[in-house]
Amino acid sequence: MGASIHPRVMQQIGKGWHLSAVLNLGTKQASLDRELGYLLSDTKNPVASLSPEFDHFEKNMSPELSLQWTNPKHRLNFQIKGTWNQIDKTLWANSLGKSTFFNPLGAISWEFEPRDNRRIKLNYMSSNTLPSLTQLLPVSNTLNPLSVYIGNPDLEPSLIHRISSELSIFDEYSFTALFLKLSGIYTQNALSTSRTISETLEQTITPINVSEGSSINGNLDFSTPIKRFGLKIQLKAGPNWSKSSNIINGQVNDVNSLSNTFRFGIENRFKERIDARFGATLSLTNTKYSIQEEYDNKYSTLSYYGDLRYHLNDHWHFWFRTSVNTYNSESFDETLTFPLMHATIAYNFLEGGKASILLEGIDLLDKNNGFTQVSDINYMAKSTSNTIGRLVMLTFRYRFNQLGAGRR
């Protein structure tokens, strides 16, 4: 529950130049009323010390000044602002004190279009992130006795700096498209966790502030037709790197993660009767810990897929799709492969194809077993779950008109 007002003033100060000022004022109120008991207790009555009545009241004020300049090829924007937050926390009607924070923030962006379908963007923006209600609550959550969570009422906001650059090109004659993006995030006073892990692997988790965290992300998307063969290809790549810190049994644990995803796809360009798509995706991840290096993990996922649709006429449609997914992790001994296959026959009838009958074969090879693998700093787990498996389904669908007297 909350309320806010945002009075704004804007003025043109020259050709292409605009100046605006905003004053953001607001309040937010949130409450948490939880009843919790001991999981192994014979009685189901809630335990008072585990069942908080927690109230969180926030006041915020943010003055903002923006300067914009535009012309047919350029767009430039400068912004400066300050954020003031006051948080009042109450637990069982007892005040935990008021916390007041002020952060100076800013942003700058530039966009340039040298010609049609060519664009360059550069952006910088800073923002702050406040801790959530659950993160501030200093009462144990014992819903999972092996992983007890206790909030921290002394948490402070994180200050986040984001920078990004983009390049997009589209050639309307060759239908070739290229998109590149590189972005980075640097976080001051980052929100993280402190864990205390016992010899029996029971753990207590508390949110804390650490000095910093950072990440770099890239994205490449390229597509072009092969006109001679009536095909279109698409290439995608997405490298990501991140560095963060947490505390484990009183020691600082630095976590470095590097991942890459590569995708290749090919499809036919003209789809009057046949729509065929084939491709592959390769994902590689390497995670390293500064303590307990035996839990460092490298894993990969390789997936192939095929999707074939054939439209015989306005009534008959056929759809066949298959995929093969392979998982490989250094933390586990085996490489796992799951082939999946689905097929559909559809018959449309009545005016405009309002009604249809579908015969679907799902997981025809009966290889889907709900597999999951999890590797963390203090445990590794592999599980499979029951699934429906191979299934043949007959479906009738009817599409009602949404407009006019024809509605049924």
Place 328 in a pLDDT band, splitting at 50, 70 and 90: confident
Which pLDDT score, from 0 to 100, does residue 329 have? 82
The CA angle 175-181-184, to the nearest 5 degrees, is: 175
Give CA separation, 11 vs 15, 25, 78, 108, in Å. 12, 21, 15, 19
Domain segments of the chain: what residues? 1-229, 271-408
pLDDT mean over 290-295? 78
pLDDT at 68 over 70: yes
Q: Identify the residue with better confidence: 60 or 399.
A: 60
Transcribe 262-285 into DSSP letters. EEEEEEES--SSEEEEEEEEEEEE
pLDDT mean over 373-396? 76
Average the pLDDT over each of 110-114, 312-316, 403-407 and give the range with the smallest value. Answer: 403-407
Is residue 52 within 8 A of residue 89, CB to CB? The reply is no
Which pLDDT score, from 0 to 100, does residue 368 have? 79
* pTM of the complete model: 0.84
pLDDT mean over 299-321? 93
Q: Give the rounded percent of residues in the chain with a pLDDT score beyond 90.
A: 65
pLDDT at 403 over 60: no
Which pLDDT score, from 0 to 100, does residue 266 have? 97
Of 225, 219, 253, nearest to 237 by C-alpha is: 219
Place 406 in a pLDDT band, splitting at 50, 70 and 90: very low
Of 327, 335, 338, nearest to 363 by C-alpha is: 338
* Topology, domain 1-229: Maltoporin; Chain A (2.40.170)
Average pLDDT, the chain: 89
Give CA separation, 387 vs 208, 279, 362, in Å. 40, 26, 12
pLDDT in tens, 140-193: 888 888 889 999 999 999 999 999 999 999 998 889 999 999 999 999 999 999
Within 38-187, residue ranges assigned H as helices are 133-136
Residues composing the chain: 408
Question: What residues have CB less than 8 Å from 9, skipping those under 6 apart?
Answer: 20, 21, 22
pLDDT mean over 206-232? 95
